[in-house]
Structure 1
Amino acid sequence: MSTATSRPRVRKSPQQRSEEIYAAATALAREGGLSALTLRAVATRAGVASGLVAHYASSMDELVARTFHDLVGAELAEVCAEIAAEPGAAARLARMIATVLRRDHNDITLVWVDAWSLGRSNEALATAIEEQMAAWQDAITEIILVGESEGAFRVDDAAAVAWQLLAMIDGIAAHALTRGTDAALFATRLAQASETLVGAEPDTVRRHLAAP
């Protein structure tokens, strides 16, 4: 007579369990945006009881805010790493535009779109949005300042121009996602508009865009 052997249960540390829950939230947000983050959905993806999610996340608002912060912060870090090797501000601006409008950034665009709506009733998320938008503005401002030091750009207020560029990029990405259009198709037009905003000569930024 054979005896069934039970698989030993492994007790996970609080840190391991917390990491699993946040990893589940991150995966759900990439697939369906921040609106997909419900207590039940996160618990199901993590393979735990809903009560355990509530135990390790102080609130769903906090879980949503942290997921947003981590996802968009990682995107910015990746974009900055991509453009860092480009030779000069014009090439960096072109690379940034082309990168954030690629289809493989649509998941983060959806996260942003949800965040702008959900942030109205989620204070923690609203704070994270402000932090990340400021970080993006700072990154673009730095590109513009480098362009000024090179003599390629000329602006009165680098931070204000960076804010306007960021709004244009976000607008195009969000509209393209909503309408099912490839945002990358508008990279050339955006690069052309950016040349006016940063006070660059025509084709200064556009010539650095990769051929379609």
Structure 2
Amino acid sequence: MTSTPTAPRTRKSPAERRDEIERAARELALEQGLAALTLRAVAARAGVVPGLVAHYVTGMDDLVAATFSAIVADELAEVHALVRREPAVARRIGALVDTVLHGGRDDVTLVWVQGWALGPANAALAAAVREQMDAWHTMIVELISDGVDAGAFVVDDAHAAAWHLLAMIDGLNAHSLVRWHDAPDRRDMTLRVVAALLGAETAAIASPITTEETA
């Protein structure tokens, strides 16, 4: 009997294996949150044995932290690009509100919320959360400072105003995960509060960017 030759197995490089594992972790986190990132779950998603995951990562705490950073940094880059599409400096704040409060980002919101919750028991994750919050704060400070320079905002401390705005966004998004007081006019109420914080009229910061564009 003549045996049928089998195709040779393709051996993946260490870099390819790491990319494969990291991609599986990101997919799992976006679907189920950071709490779902166990050794067995990531291995199952990547289609490998748990021992292979353990071989290519320094530890699950580090993988969770790296996964958080990758997801959140990607979102920040995307949001920054969307906001900068708005030519009117004052309206970039409105574009930010529209973009980050859009319900289509609940997957990333869950990653954020679990990052805060799991961070106290995971030093690497806590450091990653602080780093990404600093990056968001820096971006918002720039938007506010641009508005001040253009004469559109009256703000004495752009850093403090940015912290207020960031806390408001984080709180509202966290509430939305459990559909707490999901008022239909949440956008308008938020824009009014933000306008008052920045010493501007609501109409001056409202952005024409639609929810379809931010999906």
> TM-score normalised to the size of structure 1?
0.94
> Per the alignment, in what secondary structure is the counterpart of residue 89 of structure 1?
coil
Q: Paired residue for 2:102?
A: 102
* Equivalent runs, 1:57-206 vs 2, <5 Å: 57-179=57-179, 185-206=185-206
Give the superposition deviation at 1:127. 0.4
Return the alpha-carbon distance in structure 2 between the equivalents of residues 201 and 103 of structure 1. Answer: 25
Give the superposition deviation at 1:29. 0.4
Q: Paired residue for 1:26?
A: 26
- Structure 1 residues 75, 207: CA separation in 2 closer, same or farther (over 3 Å shift)? closer
Structure 1 window deviating more from structure 2 (119-128 vs 197-206): it is 197-206
Return the alpha-carbon distance in structure 2 between the equivalents of residues 165 and 18 of structure 1. Answer: 37
Deviations 1:124-157 (A, max 9, x none): 0000000000110110110100100111101111
Return the alpha-carbon distance in structure 2 between the equivalents of residues 211 and 112 of structure 1. Answer: 21
Give the superposition deviation at 1:19. 0.2
Return the alpha-carbon distance in structure 1 between the equivalents of residues 26 and 184 of structure 2. Answer: 25
Q: Return the letter of the residue paired with 2:58.
A: S
Q: How many residue pairs were aligned?
A: 212
- Answer whether contact 1:109 1:174 (CA < 8 A) is retained: yes
Give the superposition deviation at 1:89. 2.5
Deviations 1:42-98 (A, max 9, x none): 000001110111111100000000000000000000000111121223211111111
Return the alpha-carbon distance in structure 1 between the equivalents of residues 185 and 22 of structure 2. Answer: 34
- Answer whether contact 1:84 1:92 (CA < 8 A) is retained: yes
- Answer whether contact 1:29 1:111 (CA < 8 A) is retained: yes
Q: Mark the runs of 5 or more structure 1 residues left unpaired by the alignment.
A: none
Return the alpha-carbon distance in structure 1 between the equivalents of residues 171 and 82 of structure 2. Answer: 22
Give the superposition deviation at 1:206. 3.0
- Answer whether contact 2:34 2:114 (CA < 8 A) is retained: yes
What stretches of structure 1 move > 6 A for 4+ residues in a row?
none
> TM-score normalised to the size of structure 2?
0.92
- Answer whether contact 1:69 1:129 (CA < 8 A) is retained: yes
